[in-house]
A = this chain, B = another copy of it.
Amino acid sequence: MFESAELGHSVYKSAYDKELPALREALLNAQFDMETSKKFPVIILIAGLDGAGKSATANTLNEWMDPRFIQTHGTDAPSDEELERPHMWRFWRQLPPKGRIGIFDGSWYAWPIFERAAGRIKNPKFDQALEEVRRFEQMLIDEGAVILKFWMHLSRLAQKRRLKKLESDPLTRWRVTERDWRHFELYDTFQEVSERALRRTSTAEAPWIQVEAVDSRYQKLMVGKTLLEQIRLRLNRPAPQPEIIQAAAALPDLDGRNILKSLDLSQKLGRPDYERELEKYQGRLNLLTRHKAFWDHNVVMVFEGVDAAGKGGAIRRITQAIDARLCHITPIAAPSEEERAQPYLWRFWRNLPRRGRLAIFDRSWYGRVLVERVEGFCSEADWMRAYGEINDFEEQIHNSGGIILKFWLSISQEEQLRRFELRRDSAFKRFKITDDDWRNRSKWDSYEAAICAMLERTSTEIAPWTLVESEDKYFGRIKILRTLCEGIEARL
């Protein structure tokens, strides 16, 4: 696979010096146009062997361009903050916003390749990890990113020569350590593992670009020119046509039944029962959050439901029971400017809790397949792919010890009207009702179809939805508290 990167590619100094000024100017201009248009981020991965000039390349790009608009990330050991979250969390934090360039020296490939080369995982697990990476990159591309993956290559002989040369010079001897030679002995294993990684993750839209790393002028020019060309291509690309997704059409409705209509909304709980149960479950929840095993986990709660279904009230009954320092509520409204410059899942990733903590999302990533779908804020292709992206997201939370509980609060159309009128007429609840609420209400049927599709496609074995009959607030709140306690207990 690496044959083409072992040909002794090189560029004469005179040619290099002649080309460089124009290239740097063009790169700066391209960067300026990117920054102005704010249409897409560029994500540059620099991977490959130790000693193949990875960090030198990153530094060169920073030198050639305006470093204020470039973020460069190494792969240091993860921080304790990072260790307590899904493996990909650190990379989500580091994603460049639209208009900017992010350089990853190492990146999401480092860990799987290293684990496989060290023999700590076998091919099935390795492929699983590579597939996670492939899906992640596909999502970035679908969200508009340009991804450039450079693989810096040295032949066995070339690497040996380089190490020897560094060692023989008193000025550079310190750069060659025991560890470098130990790694060198793994050369063949590392190549074999890398070939598999490259083969499985070289896609049409984000192929690997192999760069021979013997001659640094060649290496730098190659990276610089490729980068320039790709930014220009993307700037000039016409806006994509909205795709027609074959299978997106709603399924035929044959008998008028659906899961929402099947709920028994007449279920009630009397005040005295409610108060007794409330105390019981709040106490149980409090104990659970102080359980020793709880510190290996975290809880991610999602609250969705039509307007006025009682999300706020239910959330308060939970937070009342927990130490406020352990629990963070993220209310989801329109995204901030910073959030709009990122993939839509970014603002949820940034709010994932550490171990031993609870996160409550008052509305959530499901907005993508609900309001954004119904109101046409995103294309059909966008919300259709979102189901899979969301399932991937939740699987990563689950795999890192997260306990996911998703509540859909359901009320009837009549009850909603009653609550809306109450809010409108009550002085201290008036802020809770807006024109938007009335407008959403008029689209009840479209929302119902979207909700049913969401429940069907995202109620998974690792993160099932709980449907909460909330016509009676007491009944709904207790069902939520009970489900929450049982969900945590099942995992501890």
Decide yes or no whether A164 CB sits under 8 A from chain B.
no
A388-B3 in contact (CB<8A): no
The answer, yes or no, to whether A8 is at the interface (CB within 8 Å) is: yes
Contact of A206 with B247 in the complex, beta carbons under 8 Å: yes
Quick one: which of A163-210 are within 8 Å of B by CB? 192, 195-196, 199-200, 202-207, 209-210
Interface: A146 (CB within 8 A)? yes
- Segment at the interface with B among A255-263, A290-298, A357-365: A255-263
Of A247, A248, A381, the most chain B CB neighbours within 10 A belong to A247
Stretch at the interface among A81-89, A121-129, A332-340, A341-349: A121-129
> Please, which residues of chain B bring their CB within 8 A of the CB of A391?
199-200
- Contact between A205 and B245, CB atoms less than 8 A apart: yes
Inter-subunit contact A9/B209 (CB<8 Å):
no
Q: Does A234 contact B (CB under 8 A)?
A: yes
With A and B bound together, what is the CA distance between A229 and B258 in angstroms?
20
**Given A124-B124, A218-B255, A460-B199, A247 and B387 contact (CB-CB distance below 8 Å):** no
Least CB distance from A12 to B in Å reads 8
How close is A116's CB to chain B, nearest CB, in angstroms? Answer: 12
| Cβ of A435 under 8 Å from chain B | no
A11 touches B254 (CB 8 A): yes
A206 and B248 alpha carbons, distance in the complex (Å)? 9
- Mark the stretch among A101-109, A220-228, A267-275, A418-426 that contacts chain B: A220-228
Residue A252 interfacial (CB < 8 Å)? yes
Query: Are A234 and B246 also in contact (CB < 8 A) when A7-B262, A125-B124, A388-B202 are?
Result: yes
A225-B252, A252-B225 given; A459·B3 CB < 8 A: yes
In the complex, the answer to whether A204 meets B384 with C-beta atoms within 8 Å is yes
How far does the Cβ of A78 sit from chain B's closest Cβ, in whole Å?
23
Complex Cα spacing A8 to B261, Å: 12
A457 to B221, CA, bound (A): 22
CB neighbours (8 Å) of A125 from chain B are 124
Is there an interface contact between A226 and B251, defined as CB atoms closer than 8 Å? yes
Q: Which of A11, A202, A465 is the most central at the interface, judged by chain B CB atoms within 10 Å of its CB?
A: A202
The answer to the question of A446 belonging to the interface, with a C-beta cut-off of 8 Å to chain B, is: no
Q: Tell me whether A456 is interfacial, beta carbon within 8 Å.
A: yes
Decide yes or no whether A10 CB sits under 8 A from chain B.
Answer: yes
Considering the complex, give the chain B residue whose CB is closest to the CB of A3: B259
B381 touches A457 (CB 8 A): no
Knowing A246-B234, A247-B230, A388-B202 touch, does A254 contact B3 (C-beta < 8 A)? Answer: no
Nearest CB of B to A158, in Å: 15
Residue A413 is within 8 A (CB to CB) of chain B in the complex: no
Residue-by-residue, is A140-152 near B (CB-CB < 8 Å gives 1, otherwise 0)?
A: 0100001010000
Chain B positions within 8 Å of A246 at CB level: 141, 146, 205, 230, 233-234, 237
A452 at the interface (CB under 8 A from B): yes
Within 8 A of B (CB), among A1-45: 1, 3-4, 7-11
